[in-house]
Amino acid sequence: MVSNKFLFAIILLYVYIGVQSLFYFFGGVVLTILVAMAFLNGPRLLDWANSPPHLQFNKYVLTGYRPISSVQDCIRSLFYMHNELGNIYTHGALPIVYSTLLCYPFTRTVALLVYILLSSYAIYSAITARSSVRRLRSFAWQALFRFSFFLLRWVGVGGGSPTSLQHFLTMDALAVLGGIINISRIPERFRPGLFDYWCNSHQIMHVLVVGSILYLHWGVLDDLLWINSHHCPSD
Binding residues for Zn(2+) are: 202, 206
Asked if 48 and 62 touch (Cβ cutoff 8 Å), the reply is yes
Annotated binding residues: 202, 206
Among 159, 141, 138, residue whose Cα is nearest residue 150? 159
Among 149, 92, 144, residue whose Cα is nearest residue 116? 92
Long-range own/partner contacts, residues 64-68 (CB < 8 A, 24 or more apart): 64/196, 64/197, 66/42, 67/43
Amino acid at 219: G
Among 103, 113, 217, 98, residue whose Cα is nearest residue 149? 98
3-state secondary structure 140-161: HHHHHHHHHHHHHHHCCCCCCC
- Burial of residue 198 (CB within 10 Å: 0-12, 13-18, 19+) is exposed
